Every structure is written in structure tokens, then in C-alpha cells.
Amino acid sequence: MPLFFLLIKLLGDSMNKSTKKLSHMLFSKLTKKIRFGAVVVCAGALPCVGAEIKGESEILDLINPRPTNIVLERVGEGSAVLRAMFTSAPNQEVLHVFVEGEPVPFFDDGKKFDSRAGDGEFTAEVPFDFELFAQANQTLAETRRKNSERPLFAAGTRQKIGTQSFTEMGDGLLIDSQMDDSEASVLLPFNDSQLRLGERLSINFTGLPLGTISPSSSLLPTDPARSLMITDLSVVSDPTRTWACRRAGLPPMGNATGSWTFWTLMANVANGSASTSDYIKHLFKHWASLQTVNNFGVPARPNVYQQIIEQWEMRSGGPGVSLDPRQSPFRLLGIVLRADLRSDGSATYGGGDAGEGRFVFALHDGECHSERMTLIMEYKVPIDGCENVRDWAIKWKNLANSTQYNDDLASLTDVFASAGAAPSRPNQSAIGQVRTNELLAGSPFWELREFFLPDAGGFLAQTTVKQEPDNGHNNTGLLAKYVNSEWPNLVGPPAAQHLVPDSFLGQDFLAGAAPAPTLWDAPNSLLTVPTTPSPISPPPATIRDDALFQLALNTCSGCHTVETNTNFAHLDYGTPAGTPAILSGFLTGISLLDPRDGALTRSFDDLARRADDLDILAASSCTRSSARVPTGNLVLHALTAPAPQRSPH
């Protein structure tokens, strides 16, 4: 079997733990080799494969570098030269960009169209349809008439670095980019004759795909409150679908077995493998005794089982009885779409091609007094294929204007949350993971845990928390070695493409639970990461600063505390009953000082980022299934498209 297709197989939903370790190892090696332009791809002791890497472009498009600048020059009626500055490329003569599984070479050898060898600017002569490019610019202008400003985020990251505005000017679309430390603009032509032979067009931004026509079927900008982070009381207190809290001191009301209740969602995950009561009890037994996860001991927190299950039993009739859904202590805080986590073939989360759908619950005492815990059920959306995923995005955008909102929302959540939603997966459930944030009375610190369905199905089992090294490795030589080896993936661009492995240099590495708060750092004297200016953050940020920042931000403990100034939950578990969930500044917009270097400011506005991503997804060009598009247009599209997200949260 060719290595590429072996890799795709290894990265499938049915991987066991040992297979996942192998696939992560392979992907890490492939990433480093392909990203920096090796002509032949090798993976450890496995044979080199080169030309066998074809088709299934998602995994290859993931590891394309993102240039800091692109120059388009017309050199013939149907040909162009693309010049791209890759700050992350080492000194070499050739770098490959993959489009639809095919490598396109870019040269930095000082020959032909390349002006100077070794200057980091790579050049490719490619077939190019300038009329198609101009038509695509007209379509982009049309889609931006009602959404004339978008946030700018560093490629692959959740760090906001500026804004971008769109203005139609005569025969072109003017795009102005305002960054923290600079500004740039480009006028995209509406007529192919505007780009004459020998003229160069400098495209000084990424994250907005150019070059091919996208459909303009969904022109209104995404409404985050109606399409992405749905917390409106008419939804979370839907009397037919939720078991809702009106106010503290009163028992819940509504439908205790409604389709959006914790009880029914757990019943759907169990899908007949056990009674719903036993299934829920089994989940919370994990806190009652020591758990061993990735060879790390995760100490018991027995008060969790006592406060949730034993008190639920008492309200249901006494010790050991079956749980009564009418006594459930979980209230719905929000329904969340994470289309930005759509699969690229290697994502830590988002294993369904259309990303994730989530239900966020908060714990209460049975009479709607808030307890310090949230529980998130995160589903892999079982939809694939470009047109299908694009249609999925359009449906969520159009949901905002629905006259039967809850019914239409329910039809969308049924796609991933209903029993049997994913026939080929364990328990036929689309559940990806269940994650908890907890600091109940008697617990010594905040802690995050994660649970998944084993390949054989049955009960949920505790697993590692992704992208988080064990806390014992913080500020150690081993963590410094990890950052030293992974900084090209941490910083990119695109940034945050690293994968924290189960083990590193022969030591167990990925954590079994995430205590918080944690300030992630490494001894500066042991770091060899360059201290030159960062390609993804404004001055005075260095590559070293951003390597540590991206490591920390993408841990569960960092994102939920010191890196984002969040009180552990992005949807506040302490939100008073009968009011919409309070959202963190990380979601709604915040700027704060970097906790490791007070001279640096980090900005976040994640709901705006997700909305922009959904707008782009809903206008996907889906070139693979359309009429043949010249290679040059596809290359431009690949280099300007948003970098994939590998965030676990």
C-alpha cells in the first residue's frame, strides 16, 4: 500500500491507541519533510514515496506553508509567474506547494524568473487564467458588499493582528489591511486586461482565498449569536427540548428527556449498550478512584461522584437507585458550531470533515444553584465532500434568518447528536470526546479531563487531554527540547501545526488530565529557538516568544486561564439561572499582555474569527469537482486560503 494511503487509513476514526501513536509519528515526519519542500518524502525507516502522494488533497494542503507576500506577474496570455516569500523555509533551492494532491515546485535558485538565489523568495511559472481571476475578484466584491470588514488573524492561529476592509473602486476591489504595526493594500482587478504583460500585482495578505470563483449564494455575514454560539434563552430553555433552570432555588422545568438534554444525549451515545442511568454513573466513576492515563496517575477526586451521582440518586429515591432524568443536575448553556475544526486528515479534534457540533452544560445542585463545573459533549460532524460541507455551512448561516428557528436548529443538531448518527463508528455515535472543567468543593485545584469511546464501543473511557504536556514537564529541559525541535511547526506560518505526542524522547509526555492555572514556560538557557523577529506577530515579538505562546495557548490549561485571562470556562458555569451564558473575553474580544513578556500584547476575538471562517467556508469554490481550473489559479487559491486550525478547544 502506498504510504500516503496507509497514512490516510491510519488517521481514520477507528484508530486504536498504538495506531494513533504511529500515525502521529508518520504525520509529524511527513509535515517537516513536505512543508520545507523535499522532492521525495520519507518517513523514518519507511520507504520514500514521492510520486505516490496523489489525491485526497486535504492532508497535503494542511502542510503547505503560508507566504508573507505573493506577487502575480503576467508573462503570457495563459501563463503567470508567482513569487512567494516563505519566511519559514530553510536555505534550499526548491519548495513544493501541493494543490489537489499534486506538487508544484517553487524555485529559489537565481535562475530564469527567480531574481536571486537564497533570498527566501520562491518562484513558479504556472498556467493561469486571468479572466477567471478577474471574475473571482468580482464575486469576492459581491460577497463583501454586506460584510465590508473582516478581522485578520495570524495564519493558523487564534491571535488577532488587525482588520481588513473592502471597497469597490471603479474596475477593482481595494483591500486595505490594518495590522498592529503596519498597513498594506491591494487593488484586485475586475478585468483581465488590467494586468498587462510584465506587470506585477503584490498580494500582501493571506486568509482570503483568491484565484477561483466561489459561489455567492450566502451574502449576509454570519451572525455568531444565531449560527455559532447559540445561548439565547429561547433555545437553552426550549420547553420541548431542554430541562431548563428558570432561576436559582427552583427545580428545572421543561422536558426532562428532550432532545437537547444531557440525559438524552448520553442515551444516544450509549445507543443501547447500557441503560442511560448506568451509562452516566459509569462516566462519573472515573473521578472516584485513581486513573492511569498514558502511564500518568490521575488522582481521585471522590467529591465529584458524591456531589453529582450520589446526590442525584438521593433526589431520585435513595442510594443506588436508577437516576431519574427529572432530577438531572445539568442545564444547557449553549449549542456551538465549530466548523473551523473541519478535518484536514490529521486534526487533533474535528475528525468529521465538517468539523464539530457541541453542547455545553453547566452543573447545578438540583435546584438551579450553580456548581463549579461545565461538561461539553463534542461531536464529529459526519459529513464529507466539499459541496456537502459547503452546504452544511450555508445552512448554519441561513439559520440566523429562520422563522422556525428551534425546529431548524434541531434538524441540524440531529445530524450529529441523534442515536445512530455515525453508523461506522463505535456505538454508531458521532461523539468525538466529552470534556469537563471542574472545581467542586473538596477539589484542590481546577482540573480538565477528557473521555472518548473506545474502538469496541460501550462506555466512555478517560483519555489524554490533547495538546497538553504533563504538568510535571513544565519549565523543564525536556519541554525546552520539545520547543527546540517543534518551533517551525509552532510558529510557521502557518502557526500552531504542532502535535503534542504521547511520548517524547522516550518519556511519557501527553497529560492524562490538565490542572490549572498553569503558566507554560521553558528554561531560557536551554532554548535554541531563534530570537529573530516573528513572522506571525508584530514587533517586538520574536520566534522564541511565539513558539512558547503557541504551545501554551493550545494547551487546555493555558487557553482556559492565564493565556486568555479566562476564569476557566469560556461559557461561564456561574451564569445565573434564567440568563444567557456569560462569554469570555477570548470569545468576544480582548487584548492583554503576554504572561511571559509584558512588552507583548496578545489580542483575541474568537467568535469573529469563527464567523469569518464560516463565511469563507460557505463560499468554497470546490475546484476538484468543477470544470478544470489551471494550476496557477489553484496554487494562488491554496496559498491565500486560511490555514487549518488544530486547536483542541
Cβ–Cβ under 8 Å, residues 210 and 188: yes
- How open is the CA angle 367-436-476, to the nearest 5 degrees? 140
Cβ–Cβ under 8 Å, residues 294 and 300: no
Q: Do 104 and 199 fall into the same domain? A: yes
- Domain assignment present for 530: yes
Q: Do 145 and 206 fall into the same domain? A: yes
Q: Residue 50 is which amino acid?
A: G
- How open is the CA angle 323-328-332, to the nearest 5 degrees? 145
Q: Do 97 and 42 fall into the same domain? A: no
Q: Do 212 and 75 fall into the same domain? A: yes
- Domain assignment present for 324: no
Q: Do 30 and 79 fall into the same domain? A: no
β-pairing verdict for 370-380 and 356-364: antiparallel
Q: How many domains is the chain built from?
A: 3
- How open is the CA angle 154-158-164, to the nearest 5 degrees? 50
Q: Do 101 and 200 fall into the same domain? A: yes
State the pLDDT at residue 399: 96
- Domain assignment present for 423: no
The cell numbers describing 484, all together, are 527546540
- Domain assignment present for 37: yes
- Domain assignment present for 297: no
CB atoms inside a 10 Å sphere around CB 525: 7
Residue 49 belongs to domain spanning: 3-54
- Domain assignment present for 407: no
Q: Do 49 and 191 fall into the same domain? A: no
- Domain assignment present for 48: yes
Q: Do 78 and 154 fall into the same domain? A: yes
SS3 352: coil
Q: Do 507 and 597 fall into the same domain? A: yes
Residue 332: name the closest of 439, 433, 406 by CA: 406
Low-confidence ranges of the chain (pLDDT < 50): 1-62, 345-351, 625-626
Compute the distance between CA of residue 348 and CA of residue 331 in angstroms, rounded to an integer: 28
Q: Do 7 and 118 fall into the same domain? A: no
Q: Do 71 and 45 fall into the same domain? A: no
State the pLDDT at residue 642: 85
Model pTM score? 0.89
Cβ–Cβ under 8 Å, residues 155 and 492: yes
State the pLDDT at residue 39: 28
Q: Do 50 and 70 fall into the same domain? A: no
- Domain assignment present for 543: yes
